[in-house]
Amino acid sequence: MQFLRNRTVIGIICIMLSLIICFAVTPLFNRAISEKTEIVRVAKEIRKDEEITADMLETVEVGAYNLPESVITNQNSVIGKFASAELQPGDYILTSKVTNEPSAENAYLYNLNGEKQAISVSVKSFANGLSGKLQSGDIVSVIAPDYKKQGVTIIPPELQYVEVIAVTANSGADANTGEQTEEGEDRELPDTVTLLVTPEQSMILAELEADGDIHLSLVYRGEQKNAAEFITAQETVLAELYAPEEETAEEADNAEEAAETESTALEETSESESGESEEAEESEVG
């Protein structure tokens, strides 16, 4: 190690190291800093749980150095997902800020496909809503006291089996989604119950809501496949009660055509028999 004590040798080593840094390390570092990459950025405000669409995004070129690994670089991997936090214009979109499903609160509203609707009815007393025991996924019957001011209490055939999709407190928060409350936190009492219904059912519920009290009785709580059987049975009843007018008109036309055909056939048979009778009479006279 005697040579390391020589100042000349130490000087040469320092010069070599400085040359390596200047002509090898520094260019690599500068190249890494100057590299560009395209990323997805927020173009306009996106609220929490809002579905992300193409017009909310923009693709921009930025320096690749020191970018988070979770930054999203392809719009197609974001469109159709939901924001898990509030996003402002200019924010980078990270994988932690998007989710495939909205949060538990209001998640059921994103499953509507146009065939059915969500409608809320008031729980005007604690007993009307099964004493606050209703949960999402329950199958209930809607009982109408003094139905249409007729002095009778019935379960309308259209509302024998209806699915509960939410129970909401007066504050607007879901009062019973199956989520556990924090220790010591009181669960809010229900103020409305949201039901998944067809347009025909929603109109009847709106009338009942306006005219009087609505009572909900629990029919089934359990596995989804069993609950679906109740809904299928209700859909069968609705199909019978609300047969499409086109089919009814078509059946009437078919019946009318059949009657006309039968009438024509009877007339032809009658004329044929009359002709044969006349021929027989002429034969006898001859």
pLDDT in tens, 229-275: 999 999 999 999 887 755 445 555 666 666 666 556 555 555 555 55
Residue 180 and residue 74 share a domain? no
- Better pLDDT: 272 or 190: 190
Angle in degrees, CA 217, 218, 224, rounded to 5: 145
Please answer whether residues 77 and 97 qualify as being in contact, where contact means their C-beta atoms are separated by less than 8 angstroms.
no
pTM for this predicted structure: 0.53
Please answer whether residues 61 and 37 qualify as being in contact, where contact means their C-beta atoms are separated by less than 8 angstroms.
yes
Task: Give the chain's end-to-end CA distance (angstroms, integer).
Answer: 156
Residue 223 and residue 133 share a domain? yes
- Better pLDDT: 97 or 257: 97
Please answer whether residues 168 and 120 qualify as being in contact, where contact means their C-beta atoms are separated by less than 8 angstroms.
yes
Angle, helices 224-241/199-211, rounded to nearest 10 degrees: 90
Please answer whether residues 171 and 114 qualify as being in contact, where contact means their C-beta atoms are separated by less than 8 angstroms.
no
* Domain ranges, residue 18: 1-34
Token pair of 160 as six digits:
């024998």
Residue 77 and residue 135 share a domain? no
Residue 264 and residue 229 share a domain? no
Q: Which helix (H) or strand (E) holds 143?
A: strand 139-143
Q: Give the Å distances, CA to CA, from 32 to 63, 65, 111, 159.
A: 9, 6, 46, 67
Residue 210 and residue 121 share a domain? yes
In a domain, 210, yes or no: yes
> Three-state SS for 102?
coil
Q: How many angstroms separate the CA atoms of 41 and 43, rounded?
A: 6
Kindly report the average pLDDT of the chain as a whole number. Answer: 77
Residue 84 has pLDDT above 50, yes or no: yes
State how many domains the chain has.
4
Residue 145 has pLDDT above 90, yes or no: no
Please answer whether residues 96 and 102 qualify as being in contact, where contact means their C-beta atoms are separated by less than 8 angstroms.
no
Across residues 147-171, what is the average pLDDT?
87
Residue 236 and residue 129 share a domain? yes
In a domain, 44, yes or no: yes
Q: Count of alpha carbons within 13 Å of 76, Cβ hemisphere only?
A: 0
Residue 251 and residue 177 share a domain? no
pLDDT digits (tens, 9 = 90+) for 19-68: 677 666 666 665 655 567 888 889 888 887 788 898 999 888 887 767 78
Residue 76 and residue 193 share a domain? no
Angle in degrees, CA 220, 204, 231, rounded to 5: 30
Residue 222 and residue 157 share a domain? yes
Residue 181 and residue 205 share a domain? yes
Residue 129 and residue 94 share a domain? no
> Three-state SS for 222?
coil
Residue 127 and residue 232 share a domain? yes
Domain endpoint, select from 103, 121, 144: 103
3-state DSSP helix/strand/coil % of the chain, to nearest 5: 45, 20, 35
Residue 137: the pLDDT is 87
The one-character DSSP state at 68 is -
